[in-house]
Structure 1
């Protein structure tokens, strides 16, 4: 049996998904971005998108509080 290396591509999600995942309002997300407490979105075709891996880190950090 051989082990094959597989490339795992990080997904991007929109602000609605970010808000639903973190149970926070859109305004609070953008306020924290402005303060530097939340990762900035990446622009994809004129839309703001966040990496799922970044959201997972935030959820994990909140769970350890």
Structure 2
């Protein structure tokens, strides 16, 4: 992931989302259909997400996990 100039409003592609979440493209798009993941912004034929939205999903998942 390119992080040198990443800010919360940086747009990231599906390959970065896959890397950040350690999930497959198919599971991410399935979560979009199930409204469990934000819809992408469409730039031409490309899908992009705000980095802040992806980070919010990670934070939500961290809060939802059971404590040991």
Alignment TM-score, normalising by the size of structure 1: 0.80
Alignment TM-score, normalising by the size of structure 2: 0.77
Is the Cα–Cα contact under 8 Å of residues 8 and 50 in structure 2 kept in the other structure? no
**Counterpart in the other structure of 1:32:** 31
CA distance in 1, matches of 2:13, 2:47: 6
Gapped regions of structure 1 (runs ≥ 5): 1-7
How far the C-alpha of 1:28 sits from its partner, in A, is 0.1
Report what 2:20 is aligned to: 21
**Structure number with bigger Rg:** 1
The unaligned stretches of length 5 or more in structure 2 are 1-6
After TM superposition, where is structure 1 displaced by more than 4 Å over at least 4 residues in a row? none
Post-superposition Cα deviations, 1:8-43, rounded to whole Å, max 9, x if no partner, equal 770100000000000100000001111111100001
